Amino acid sequence: MSLEPRPHQAMREGAEFDTIRALMARWGDLAVDIGDDAAVLAPSPHGTRVVSVDACVEDVHFRRAWISAREVGVRAAVAALSDLAAMGARAEYVLIAFVIPDAWREELSEVADGMGAVIREAGARIVGGNLSQGAVFSITTTVVGCAQRAVSRSGARAGDLVVVTGLLGGPGAAIQAWDAGESPTAWSRGRFAAPAPRWAEGEALALAGASAMIDISDGLAGDARHVAAASGVRLDLDASRVPAGPGIAAAVAMQSGEEYELLACIPEEAYKKLAMDWAAISIGPLTVVGVVRDGADASPTSTASPVAGGFDHFASVEIPR
């Protein structure tokens, strides 16, 4: 962290500013120099600046009955920070904008605690944001990080291996259970309610020579299509090799969104070297699930089962009830 903690700006009285003061008290030294019109960030001597923004909206990304207010905060922070991990970057700064209906006011402190826990673990600091009243609760999180070597979606080359981190399918299985009026397994619920950004894994893959990378937020099948389209190649995936979680069907593991694991394309020799050290980098596996091929058809195929398109934020505006 290159930004030294400084005193917050003085703010006048009023409900909005009382809420900001309450959030600052909740976050303690995690929030720095709050109260100005914009944050002033120090130059980074460590690499390339990487910036992303993500929105978490009630009844689009979660339902209130499914998870606690603290878990809502965890998921919102993870979703934004995972975008940095997908570029091989580490987080430095975070800005948070809340839209707060009256029904959420008393739970905002729990949301803040969940976000704060994830941001503190990331080694970042909260440097600003915004508050607004509205009909639907939402959190928009902007993250700023730094990468020694930033990796985009567009560099996959024919012959690269396609690899994924961790075990897949938990969030999809949890949503299926809730939609059926059932309780998800503890593992599936945990993967939905308390995911973890793969900072160390993303950085390691980037430094090892990954040619393309993306976080699995739209599902493995959908995100493989994003990489294929950006790189102008075809990704051949073997559904039988996809690392599914306990009791998870391969089809669910292929399409489950909001995993926040990573999909990467990497030369075979670089993968072999990285695999030797992987146990020291991550508690989860690194699994080869396919290969990159030349081809004008820039969409993934599967040697084991048809690959559906993955999650579409606009084709599915609301989680099915």
What DSSP assignment string belongs to 185-200?
PHHHHHHHHS----HH
Tell me 106's DSSP state: G
Q: How far apart are CA 43 and CA 267, in angstroms?
A: 33
Mark the ranges of the chain whose per-residue pLDDT is less than 70. 1-18, 20-21, 23-24, 27-42, 296-321
Model pLDDT, residue 216: 96
Model pLDDT, residue 289: 96
Render 132-180 in DSSP notation, one character per residue: EE-SS-EEEEEEEEEESS---STT--TTPEEEEES-B-HHHHHHHHHHT
Give start and end residues of each alpha helix (H) in 53-158. 69-85, 108-122
Model pLDDT, residue 113: 95
* Number of Cβ atoms within 10 Å of the Cβ of 320: 8
Q: How far apart are CA 238 and CA 304, in angstroms?
A: 6
Q: End-to-end alpha-carbon separation of the chain, Å?
A: 43
Model pLDDT, residue 10: 44
The residue type found at 265 is C
- Dihedral angle over CA of 176, 178, 182, 183, nearest 10: 100
Give the up-direction half-sphere exposure of residue 171: CA atoms within 13 A in the CB hemisphere: 24
Q: Residues at the annotated binding site for Mg(2+)?
A: 37, 52, 54, 83, 130, 215, 218
Rounded to 5°, the CA angle 273-277-278 comes to: 105
Model pLDDT, residue 81: 95
Q: Residues at the annotated binding site?
A: 37, 52, 54, 61, 83, 129-130, 153, 215, 217-218, 258, 311
Q: Residue 179 in 3-state DSSP?
A: helix
Classify the phi-psi angles of 225: left when phi > 0, otherwise alpha if psi is within -120 to 50, otherwise beta.
Answer: alpha
**Residue 26 vs residues 9, 43, 104: alpha-carbon distances, Å:** 17, 28, 16
Model pLDDT, residue 15: 64
- Domains in the chain and their CATH numbers? 15-147 (3.30.1330.10), 161-302 (3.90.650.10)
Phi, psi of 220 (to 5 degrees): -55, -45
Phi, psi of 265 (to 5 degrees): -110, 135
Rounded to 5°, the CA angle 164-169-170 comes to: 120
Q: Residues at the annotated binding site for ATP?
A: 129-130, 153, 217
Q: Residues at the annotated binding site for substrate?
A: 61, 258, 311
Q: How far apart are CA 99 and CA 104, in angstroms?
A: 10
Which tokens in the block code for residue 168? 């897949």
